[in-house]
């Protein structure tokens, strides 16, 4: 397997036996033996050096993977930059700080207007953890039970929103049983503003 791939990758790189041998500090005859399978058990370190000289990965040289160029049906992924506009509480509401000037690159398929960094653990039931990026689509209402970024008297929080219009009540519900829902009724509703719906999040590998 290595013999066939070695010859193929060497030709693709436009290298002669002599040129590849020179890159590796070995003889033309040794490279020739590799390509003909005379030397079958090539040490790992030599595989690594051969791959580097050919501009390939060790896995590709071993025949374990294809180069990306071989997948002609792949479509390019379109990207866009979203402003990171602050931190949002996943716990008690916190002051809505802003970090204009910071941007996050995401897949353009995500229909979001901006992103916020989660702080706290009140939304872990929705798999949103402290430090995660939450992508928000700007809109001023959300459906019952959807997760939204909400401003309450200039403080920001991320919660599930439940409306009870017959009782003139909104309940903002966390996804962690150690936190109580936030209940707003009557005139208190005037202090609430929905910034947008959470449409995606990006977690830190833990």
- Catalytic residue check, 57: no
Give me the tens of pLDDT residue by residue for the chain, a chain 206 residues long: 566 778 888 888 888 888 888 888 888 888 888 888 777 677 777 778 888 888 877 777 766 555 444 445 555 557 777 788 777 777 655 444 444 457 788 888 888 888 888 989 999 999 999 989 999 999 999 999 999 999 988 788 999 999 999 999 999 999 999 999 999 999 999 999 999 999 998 886 65
Closest alpha carbon to 170 in 113, 157, 178: 157
Name residue 107's beta-bridge partners: 79
At 23, is the secondary structure helix, strand, or coil?
helix
The whole-number pLDDT of residue 101 equals: 53
The whole-number pLDDT of residue 95 equals: 42
Spans of all domains in the chain: 2-68, 79-202
Residue 166 is given by DSSP the state: G
The whole-number pLDDT of residue 156 equals: 84
The whole-number pLDDT of residue 204 equals: 67
Query: In the CATH scheme, what is the code of domain 79-202?
Result: 2.10.109.10
- Catalytic residue check, 122: yes
The whole-number pLDDT of residue 64 equals: 57
Of the residues 122, 169, 178, 193, which is catalytic?
122
Closest alpha carbon to 134 in 161, 153, 155, 156: 156
pTM value is 0.58
Q: How far, in Å, CA of 4 to CA of 13, rounded?
A: 14
The whole-number pLDDT of residue 85 equals: 76
Name the packing angle between helices 44-54 and 2-13 (round to 10°): 30
Of the residues 27, 66, 108, 159, which is catalytic?
159
Quick one: fold of 2-68?
Answer: 434 Repressor (Amino-terminal Domain) (1.10.260)
């Amino acid at each position: 397997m290595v013999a066939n791939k070695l010859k193929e990758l060497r030709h693709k790189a436009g290298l002669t036996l002599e040129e590849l041998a020179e890159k590796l500090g070995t003889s033309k005859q040794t490279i020739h033996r590799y390509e003909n399978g005379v030397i079958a058990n090539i040490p790992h370190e030599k595989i690594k050096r051969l791959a580097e000289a050919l501009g390939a990965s060790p896995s590709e040289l071993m025949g374990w993977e294809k180069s990306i160029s071989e997948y002609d049906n792949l479509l390019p992924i379109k990207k866009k930059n979203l402003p990171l506009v602050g931190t949002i509480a996943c716990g008690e509401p916190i002051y809505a700080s802003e970090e204009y000037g910071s941007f996050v690159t995401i897949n353009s398929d995500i229909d979001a207007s901006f992103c916020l960094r989660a702080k706290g653990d009140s939304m872990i039931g929705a798999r949103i953890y402290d430090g995660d990026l939450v992508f928000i689509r700007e809109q001023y209402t959300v459906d019952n039970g959807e997760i939204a970024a909400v401003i309450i008297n200039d403080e920001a929080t991320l919660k599930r929103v439940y409306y009870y219009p017959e009782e003139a009540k909104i309940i903002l519900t966390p996804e962690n049983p150690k936190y109580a829902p936030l209940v707003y009724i009557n005139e208190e509703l005037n202090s609430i503003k929905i910034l947008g719906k959470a449409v995606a999040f990006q977690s830190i590998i833990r």
